[in-house]
Chain A
Amino acid sequence: MTGWRKIDFAFVAPALIIFVVFLVYPVISSFYYSFTDWNGLNPTISMVGVDNYKKLSQDSQVWNALWNTLTFAFFVTIFQNVISLMLAVLLDHVGRAYRVLRVLFLIPTLISALAIGFIWSYMYGPISGVINTLLELVGLQSWTQDWLGDTKWSMTSIIFTNIWQWVGFSLIIYLAGLQGVSSELKEAADIDGAGAWKKFVHITFPLIAPAFTINIIMTMIGSLKVFDIIYVMTKGGPGDATTSIAILLYKQAFNFNQMGYGTAIAVVLFAIILILSLVLITYLRRREVQS
């Protein structure tokens, strides 16, 4: 039962080969550029050792982007999982209405980033935006804000839109996890008179531990890498209020022609994600085993 048989290697081989050739190799090659001052264009490249790394440790823009990224990841991971888990439990029933709702909540993930940026600029628009108009309609004029233009609110607004877009994704994974919980178990809890909450905490939640692990890890990693949603909504602005690490490294590499520096930032981002994920995965897998 333990130890790899020859056939096992055959099972893993295709995936491993494709993964290494088309992802690992290009990315590792690109890490090489972090030790250069390459501008992304010129065929001649010169090495600068760890200069880029020294520079970024003192660069206030990097620290600012790091703070923004961690804030974003924290809130998105928590809220997206809470909401999608609640929705999964609520929608885990047979019936046409449920079927429609499950697909409905997935549709935001289908909309291209370009349209998301446009639509939500109008939702959040300061003058005749949908949200402000609705607030005015119910007499809550004083609550209207410049949701994207005001640095107090810009990050929160983007976090909300991100959750809006991706809840469906996490929802699907939780639903799949819930299928493993046999209906008998769930019914048994009902007969015993257990309240919905107790039933959830003691029975359902432990049994969907694998789905929980997957979702937490995916949302955390995805939000640490966040680029698209911020790019289309504010491009990192106003100023650098919503600039994440990925946005910063992209701008450095392509707008400032600092491919070497940008790559160094990417390596640091990868290291951060790797460490956080390993810690989290170990902790979560232990929980899984206990359940």
Chain B
Amino acid sequence: MNSSIVNKVFRWIFLVIWSAIVITPLIIVVFGALKPSSEFLMNPIGWPDQVTFKNFANAWKEATLGLAFINSLIVTGITILGLVVFGSAGAYPLSRRVSPLSNLLFIFFISGIMLPFQLAMIPLYQLMNGLNLTNTHIGVILIYMASTLPFVIFLYTGFLKGIPRELEEAATIDGCGPIRTFVSIIFPLLKPVTATVIITNSLTVWNDFLTPLLFLQEKAFRTIPVAIFTFTGQYNNDWSLIFSSIAISSLPLIIVFLLLQKHFIKGIAGGAVKG
């Protein structure tokens, strides 16, 4: 029918336009990574006159990106693991138990999203110092978990509401205890949310700069954003190295996202509606 063709055309135009808007700056990053530093300021956004792959190697070496990768992986990976486990567990009673306590705790957690981090830095540093947790992975992991749990709980609570209680009732009748019910029945139904939690929080944690700058200063423990920033100077920045570091460090996340996609789209999720 005519209107559906017009519809389709509009859809594709919108997608193409937005794709172009998204891609253009990204192409600049890729071009920048392929240019030698000397060419950079003369030709900051165009196709490189001399394509070079040396920046990747240089950035890797100078910023010890290999080590930074491992640190970023450890910090992000364990944080995400903690978020999924503790976040979903925490959200469970909040969404299931109808009581003032649930509401109170929910609001308490959500208010955490609203707190501005910059000013908590000094008391937080004193705390970490006192607990001997500066320059440790676990210290930074705990800080990240604390600041992202509110959002994760918000997500899980929201989606848990869409899961019918009949499922738990059926499980109890079958003789499952609360933990088993949660683990075997409820949690698997939360796959799309869990995938969302993983993606959204890996983004924020992977790219975060201020926390590792303060708490993981030693070179051996540096994460990627801090390593990239070693290319900024008091007056002059080395942009080709910065861009190639960004290109390298985005790669693992892109791969993870591509892989996680199937958990979100049609077919596998199904959702609780099917029961």
- A–B contact at 8 Å CB threshold (below): yes
Distance A5 CA – B93 CA, assembled complex (angstroms) = 9
Q: Which of B80-116 contact A (CB under 8 A)?
A: 82, 86-87, 89-90, 92-94, 96-99, 101-102, 105, 107, 109-116
B254 x A114 contact (CB < 8 A): no
Q: Which of B101-136 contact A (CB under 8 A)?
A: 101-102, 105, 107, 109-116, 118-120, 122-124, 127
A8 touches B196 (CB 8 A): no
Query: In whole Å, how far is B227's beta carbon from the nearest beta carbon of chain A?
Result: 11
Question: Using Cβ atoms and an 8 Å threshold, which residues of chain A touch B25?
Answer: 108, 111, 116, 119-120, 123, 164
Q: Is B158 interfacial (CB-CB < 8 Å)?
A: yes
Closest to B101 in A: A4
| Interface residues as binary, A239-261 with B (CB distance below 8 Å gives 1, 0 otherwise) | 00000001001100100000100
* B214 lies within 8 A of chain A by Cβ: no
CB of B28 within 8 A of chain A? yes
Are A119 and B29 in contact (CB-based, < 8 A)?
yes
Contact B267 A115 (CB under 8 A): no
B267 near A270 (CB under 8 angstroms)? no
Q: How far is the CB of A6 from chain B (nearest CB, A)?
A: 10
Closest CB of chain A to B232's CB: distance in Å? 7
B interface residues, how many (CB within 8 angstroms): 103
A221 & B199 in contact (Cβ 8 Å cutoff): no
For chain B residues 180-200, which have a beta carbon within 8 Å of chain A?
182, 192-193, 195-196, 199-200
- CB of B69 within 8 Å of the partner chain: no
Which residues on A sit within 8 Å (CB–CB) of B101? 4
Question: Given the complex, which residues of B lie within 8 Å of A104, measured CB to CB?
Answer: 19, 22-23
Given contact pairs A111-B29, A112-B246, A180-B272, A173 touches B114 in the complex (Cβ within 8 A): no
Q: Which residues of B contact A172 (CB under 8 A)?
A: 196, 199-200, 264
Number of A-B contacts (CB under 8 A): 267
Closest A-chain residue to B255, C-beta based? A103
What are 14 residue pairs bridging A and B, where the CB atoms are less than 8 Å apart in the complex? Answer: A1-B97, A2-B98, A4-B93, A15-B153, A16-B105, A24-B112, A30-B123, A93-B266, A112-B209, A112-B246, A120-B25, A176-B264, A180-B162, A225-B116
The interface of chain B, by Cβ under 8 A from chain A, is 3-4, 7, 11, 14-15, 18-19, 21-26, 28-29, 44-45, 82, 86-87, 89-90, 92-94, 96-99, 101-102, 105, 107, 109-116, 118-120, 122-124, 127, 142-143, 145-147, 149-151, 153-155, 158-159, 161-162, 165, 178-179, 182, 192-193, 195-196, 199-200, 203, 206-207, 209, 225, 228-229, 232, 237, 239, 242-243, 246, 250, 253-254, 257-258, 261, 264-267, 269-274
